[in-house]
Amino acid sequence: MPATAPALLTGERLEAFGAELDALREKHVRDLGAVDARYIRRVRHAVRWTEVVGRLALYAAAPWPWLLWPLWCFGVLALAVSKILDNMELGHNVIHGQYDWMNDPSLQGDRFQWDHLCPADWWRQTHNHSHHQWTNVRGKDDDIGYGLLRIFPEQRWTPFALGQPLYAALLAVFYQTGIAVQHLKLGKYLKGQRPWREFWVEARPLLRKLPWQGGKDYLFFPLLAGPFFLPVLLGNAAANLLRNLWTFVVIFCGHFTKDAITFTPAQVKEETRAGWYQRQILGSSNIEGGPLMHLMTGNLSHQIEHHLFPDLPARRYADMAVEVRALCARYGVPYNTGSLPKQFGEVVWRVLRHAFPSRPHWVAKTA
Amino acid sequence: MSFAFALPPFRPAWDYWRGLLQPGWSPYGNTARIVRRAPAAADSETLWLRPFRRLGNWQPGQHLTVGFELDGRRFQRSFTLTSLPGETELALTVRKRAGGRFADWLEAAGSGARLSISEPWGGLAFELPEAPQRLLLAAGSGITAAMAQVRAAAARGQMAGLGLAYWVRERAQACFLEELHLLQARFPEFRFRLFLTGDTPVAGHEADGRLDAGTLAALPADPRGAEVLACGPQGFVARVEALLREAAARVATESFTPPVLLEPVSADASIALTLARSGRVLSIPAGTPLLAALEAAGLKPEHGCRAGLCGRCVCAKPEGVHVDLRDGSVHPEASHALKLCVSAARSDLRLDL
């Protein structure tokens, strides 16, 4: 952990930094076109075809699972790939409105629905608004530990935190559910700050989606296999599990690495657009890798660029990263990137370390 | 077959596979295939479309909005249907403006290409289709609206008392000439005159000059007491109104200026904002973000971050010009996804609110 806080840009220098990022955004907005449209449609083709291939492989393997288990595994993998692509490169990015400029109603952020338990409307609230506007602002961005984990020393320690390696593991396994209920802020009900009868009203959109979403993988598709119900059900569960674990890893690497910084609401009160840009960079971290890594993370491997330009097509982040990184070097703004094992190792360390009482070594200060 | 067959979680996959197996099917409205194309004049072309689903009931002279994709973006353009409701194919005659988006798309599309289409809407029509004095005035591409009425009248055999005056710059730009001559031969009581503003009249049915008090006498039918339908550019339509409102029994006009040619207003002017769902019309300053302006008018549109990030205030803009305040880019096209919080009006707007 660095001994001192990184020196934050202020005043004119900060505004100049922001202006350069605005210019970068404009350059890419002007360049949007057929290439981006073709790309996102290809991603959608990939989501649909891998789903069919995966489900067919599971059906083919289901009557003889002890013999055809490699085929079963292939089916699970294909289905998991479909779900990961659907949730990340397709769903997450489309719901951000990255392809709204196409004017194609099937790829429009405000009406897109994804293969995920979380109703897309809630996601626009918790993720697009709370998390993206208030990134790493304590008390505003609920993604900091999801109200469950103590990730930063600035969060208050209670004995409850001692169990967090276990909670984190459970959260990873049930990550889809975790994200879906995040909107409800369960803690408030558990602590008795809100009456439970309000919960049932608030939870209605989720309760409406739950039977369909669960019924699809755990009833409808297994039933199609007739007597071979169980191998198909297990295959679907395994695919969902793989998707949960992978998205957990990617998303936790995005904001909870060693050098990620959190802010207090007071620090961001007078924040300009340039200040917002700077906060996004300091609060996010990238994962290094090749094109496949970027595709499978929905380009959240470029978490920094995603947080700077959440409404631009994610396929552009790789190109933008070169410029953003050079810009950060020029202005002396830390740019946090590393391999997946390194970044995830830092996340695991944080979860373990801050299970115990800890104090911040430094607090990021503006001015 | 537009019923919602698929249950919610199966919906995206269902839409995808059905769209793939049944080209032309779309959960977002009707589509049509271009089955034939033919040049209509020097710079115009007629397209015949076969719709995927039958259109509902419509009247001759109504418009069709078509959607097409160019460079990854969907655009919409509206044209007057020149075919009659009973026919299986829809006919549109389009003026190909150099550098126009639809012209560019047509250039690349060829035959067999698909367009999304709306239901027919709006349009001009005679109140009394059998009235003894009916006068059609058309300028430029306004001829399509007039032609729809001529064809409808011919189909019903009600050509007596119908006159058509058609203004073009040069003879080569005039559409439907051959058909109009044939109709004249079939129905001697149908009167037609072609006005040329940039060519010398040669034939008997030709005259010259723009529409003004001097050319009134040259109209193919007496406008006094007649029902007059006029369609053309804004200036033309305004002249028709000024010249004939007193004399004619009724004047109905229609003018269409492509949104890309609308003159954006300055930021401090005030514009009329129409809320399509409630039918309310608000007068708001053009410079303020729409969300703030709506709130100042006492409305509470759904919104989130107020910074163009979260997309919760997104709504559709069927008509008007808006500017994205983040980068100053001007958007004259219809849009499904206008962000209220970072957009301001640059013309009268219509929002799906």
pLDDT along chain A (367 residues), means of 10: 64 95 95 96 97 97 91 97 97 95 91 89 88 89 88 92 95 93 88 90 91 92 95 97 97 90 87 93 94 96 96 96 97 95 95 92 49
- Same domain for B227 and B205, yes or no, is yes
Contacts of B308 in chain A (CB under 8 A): 311
End-to-end CA separation in angstroms for chain A = 22
Single-letter residue type at A42: R
Whole-number Å distance between alpha carbons of A132 and A143: 10
Which CATH number do you get for residue B267?
Answer: 3.10.20.30
Q: Is the whole model's pTM more than 0.95, yes or no? A: no
Q: CA of B27 to nearest chain A CA: how many angstroms apart?
A: 9
**pLDDT (tens digit per residue) in B110-130:** 778 999 999 999 888 998 877
Q: What is the pLDDT of residue A6?
A: 65
Kindly state the percentage of chain B with pLDDT values over 90: 56
Contact present, B350 and B325 (Cβ < 8 Å): no
- Same domain for B85 and B187, yes or no, is no
- Which backbone phi and psi does A149 adopt, to 5 degrees? -110, 150
Contact present, B152 and B80 (Cβ < 8 Å): no
Q: What is the pLDDT of residue B312?
A: 87
Mutate to test the interface with B, among A32, A86, A94, A110 (most CBs of B within 10 A): A110
Q: What is the mean pLDDT of residues B253-278?
A: 77
- Same domain for B186 and B228, yes or no, is yes
Which of B89, B117, B145 is the last residue before a domain boundary?
B117
**Looking at the partner chain, which of B7, B15, B314 has a beta carbon nearest the beta carbon of A109?**
B314
For residue B28, is pLDDT > 60? yes
Contact present, A73 and A66 (Cβ < 8 Å): no
Q: Of A288, A283, A319, A289, nearest to A304 (Cα)?
A: A283
CB–CB contact B337 A114 (8 Å): no
Single-letter residue type at A101: W
Whole-number Å distance between alpha carbons of B12 and A116: 12
Q: Of B116, B22, B21, nearest to B69 (Cα)?
A: B116
CB–CB contact A132 B8 (8 Å): no
Whole-number Å distance between alpha carbons of B240 and B325: 39
Contacts of A215 in chain B (CB under 8 A): 9
ipTM of predicted assembly, 2 dp? 0.86
Q: What is the pLDDT of residue A333?
A: 94
What is the interface size between A and B, counted as CB pairs within 8 Å?
Answer: 111
What are the contacts of A268-275 at 24+ separation with CB within 8 A?
A268/A134, A268/A137, A272/A14, A272/A15, A272/A18, A273/A18, A273/A22, A273/B307, A274/A9, A274/A14, A274/A15, A274/A17, A274/A18, A274/A19, A274/A21, A275/A14, A275/A18, A275/A366
Which of B222, B257, B292 is the last residue before a domain boundary?
B257
DSSP state of B8: G
3-state DSSP of A291-351 = HHHHHHCCCHHHHHHHHHCCCCCHHHHHHHHHHHHHHHHHHCCCCCEECHHHHHHHHHHHH
Q: What is the pLDDT of residue A327?
A: 97
Assigned token pair, A299: 């380009």
CB–CB contact A103 B336 (8 Å): yes
Question: Exposed, middle or buried by CB within 10 Å (0-12, 13-18, 19+), for A257?
Answer: buried
CB–CB contact B327 A109 (8 Å): no
Whole-number Å distance between alpha carbons of A273 and B31: 43
Whole-number Å distance between alpha carbons of B20 and B27: 12
For residue B103, is pLDDT > 50? yes
Interface check for A271 against chain B (CB to CB < 8 A): the answer is: no
CB–CB contact B337 A37 (8 Å): no
**Looking at the partner chain, which of A22, A101, A132 has a beta carbon nearest the beta carbon of B309?**
A132
Which of B211, B230, B257 is the last residue before a domain boundary?
B257
Contact present, A339 and A251 (Cβ < 8 Å): no
Q: CA of B110 to nearest chain A CA: how many angstroms apart?
A: 18
Q: What is the mean pLDDT of residues B212-240?
A: 90
- Same domain for B278 and B237, yes or no, is no
**Looking at the partner chain, which of B11, B308, B311 has a beta carbon nearest the beta carbon of A110?**
B311
In a domain, B240, yes or no: yes
Q: CA of B220 to nearest chain A CA: how many angstroms apart?
A: 45
Q: Which of residues 220-239 of A touch B (CB under 8 A)?
A: none
In a domain, B85, yes or no: yes
Which CATH number do you get for residue B76?
Answer: 2.40.30.10
A234-238, B53-57, B260-264, B302-306 — most confident range: A234-238
Q: Determine the 3-state secondary structure of B185 from DSSP.
A: helix
Q: What is the mean pLDDT of residues B332-344?
A: 90
- Same domain for B197 and B92, yes or no, is no
In whole angstroms, what separates CA A43 from the centre of its chain? 18
More confident residue, B329 or A45: A45
Contact present, B75 and B67 (Cβ < 8 Å): yes
Q: What is the mean pLDDT of residues B286-300?
A: 90
Please count the other Cβ atoms lying within 10 Å of the Cβ belonging to residue A209: 20
B interface with A, Cβ–Cβ < 8 A, is 7-13, 15-17, 27-28, 69, 71-75, 304-305, 307-312, 314, 326-327, 329, 333-337, 339
In this structure, the strands spanning B162-168 and B134-139 are parallel
- Same domain for B108 and B176, yes or no, is no
Contacts of A128 in chain B (CB under 8 A): 304-305, 309-312
H-state helical runs in chain B? 11-21, 101-109, 143-156, 177-186, 234-244, 290-296
Mutate to test the interface with A, among B7, B77, B309, B329 (most CBs of A within 10 A): B309
Under the banding of pLDDT at 50, 70 and 90, the label for residue B4 is very low
CB–CB contact A129 B329 (8 Å): no
Assigned token pair, A62: 């289901």
Question: Exposed, middle or buried by CB within 10 Å (0-12, 13-18, 19+), for A70?
Answer: exposed
Q: Which residues form the domain of B292?
A: 261-351
In a domain, B162, yes or no: yes
pLDDT, averaged across chain B: 89
- Same domain for B151 and B197, yes or no, is yes
Contacts of A103 in chain B (CB under 8 A): 73-75, 333-337
Q: CA of A149 to nearest chain B CA: how many angstroms apart?
A: 25
Contact present, B90 and B8 (Cβ < 8 Å): no
Assigned token pair, A335: 């740019």
Whole-number Å distance between alpha carbons of A103 and B76: 10
Q: Report how many domains make up chain B.
A: 3
Q: Which of residues 148-207 of A touch B (CB under 8 A)?
A: none
For residue B3, is pLDDT > 70? no
Q: What is the pLDDT of residue B293?
A: 92
Which CATH number do you get for residue B166?
Answer: 3.40.50.80
A145 phi-psi bin (left φ>0, alpha ψ -120 to 50, beta other): left
- Same domain for B165 and B231, yes or no, is yes
Q: Which residues contact A94 (CB under 8 A, 6 or more apart)?
A: A40, A107, A108, A109, A112
- Same domain for B108 and B95, yes or no, is yes
**Looking at the partner chain, which of A95, A102, A110 has a beta carbon nearest the beta carbon of B72?**
A102
**pLDDT (tens digit per residue) in A255-294:** 998 888 888 898 888 889 999 999 999 999 999 999 999 9
For residue B1, is pLDDT > 50? no
Q: CA of A276 to nearest chain B CA: how many angstroms apart?
A: 11
In a domain, B23, yes or no: yes
- Same domain for B233 and B184, yes or no, is yes
Q: Which residues of B44-73 are buried (b: 16+ CB within 10 A; e: fewer)?
A: bbbbbbebbbebeebebbbbbbbbbbeebb
Whole-number Å distance between alpha carbons of A238 and A245: 10
